[in-house]
Amino acid sequence: MEGQLPDGRHALVRAGRDGRIRSVEHREPAGRDVAHHLVPGLVDLQVNGYGGHDVNADDLSVDTVHALTRALWAAGTTTFFPTVITADHDRIVHALEVIAEAVRTDALLAHSIAGIHVEGPYLSPVDGARGAHDADCLRDPDTAELARWIAASDGLLRIVTLAPERANTDAYIDRAVRSGVLVALGHCAAEPDRIHRAAAAGASLSTHLGNGIQPTLPRHPNPIWAQLADDRLSAGFIADGHHLPADTLSAMVRAKGVRRSFLVSDAAALAGSPPGRYMTPVGGDVTVTPDGGLVLTGSGLLAGSAASLADCVRWTRAHTPFADADVLALATSNPARIAGLRDRGTLTAGAAADLVLLDTEFRVLRTVLAGTTVHRADEPPSL
């Protein structure tokens, strides 16, 4: 596939039969290819659902996971972490088992689902910090439960988000990290010293920093400043134009540093759906707005994200001062590196041949996964 690379050079990228990039040949553009951007497949570490397919649905099935994955391919996301949210133990285990079963059924799907993210149930019960998570299911971290999650997921569990102020957190973080699971801080109302203790214990991420927090905070100290200041924590941000204003996102990324920052969609099942009013099992009566917001009908309250990661890239590109190469890194090489996915998010020989061709507005024209074309813009995705 041929197009303009994130660094501005034009290149032809060839894939080998093993699904990896065989060569990257820099060359002068020919004809219309000069207008196309060739970028690594997008890497999203937080996806609750997309296109009507919900990881947290009561009736989650292998078919749902397949349909979700294919819908994300059409949106340029080639690697993602399905994100299971707060629920009782049996429901979380069921979701993990279904996702693991889906991965065993299809090699391309297994390539895309590089891990699972469990967001909760070890979160703050404080209103605002709790977000939309079910208060009745919140509980303290439990290392025995962690072991059951790892087994149920067939070893796919890669991230757990927790509030560091909950009891037993340091021991849980230590066990998780030694088990190969990254710990993210989120949905918390923690004092700064508790955040720094969690980072010292091995926590390495902040989940959608700036969201999942009380609407009113002390000027200082507060959990946002502490997480921005701690260089041991890399931070995810929801850049859909609704969760964070452009000035806030710009300042936060500058404070954290581009290399320690990454974008997530935090997409809900209605992401990718046309504007309109919907009834959902969790949010109830919600509306997808014409500008891509997802709100409780009749209010301005957010009911999740209706954006894909490609939508977040386009919004960040249009509303922040960062160069295209940095914006793309926030959705490709940075999350891949931070999550330990060494063969993703880069267009270099030997890396996975996960490629996305974009037009001048960064709309997805074509998606290639492990050397196989899985989406063309002129063809509807196979769901």
Q: Inform me whether the pLDDT recorded for 62 exceeds 60.
A: yes
CB atoms within 10 A of CB 323: 13
Q: Inform me whether the pLDDT recorded for 34 exceeds 70.
A: no
Strand, coil or helix: 41: coil
Query: Over the stretch 209-226, which tens digit does the pLDDT of each residue have?
Result: 999 999 999 999 999 999
Is 54 catalytic? The answer is no
Catalytic one among 266, 311, 326, 354? 266
Q: Inform me whether the pLDDT recorded for 207 exceeds 90.
A: yes
The per-residue pLDDT for 297 is: 87
User: 185: part of which helix (H) or strand (E)?
Assistant: strand 182-185
Q: Inform me whether the pLDDT recorded for 8 exceeds 80.
A: yes
For the chain, the average pLDDT equals 94
pTM of the entire structure?
A: 0.96
> Beta strand 261-264 with 372-376: parallel, antiparallel or unpaired?
unpaired
The per-residue pLDDT for 383 is: 39
**How far apart are alpha carbons 283 and 214 in whole angstroms?**
19
The sign one gets for the Cα dihedral 102, 99, 111, 38 is: positive
Q: What is the mean pLDDT of residues 275-302?
A: 84
Q: What is the mean pLDDT of residues 164-193?
A: 98
Q: What is the DSSP letter of 187?
A: S
* Pick from 25-34, 77-86, 355-364: least confident: 25-34
- What are the residues whose beta carbons fall under 8 Å from the beta carbon of 333, sequence distance 6 or more? 40, 345, 346
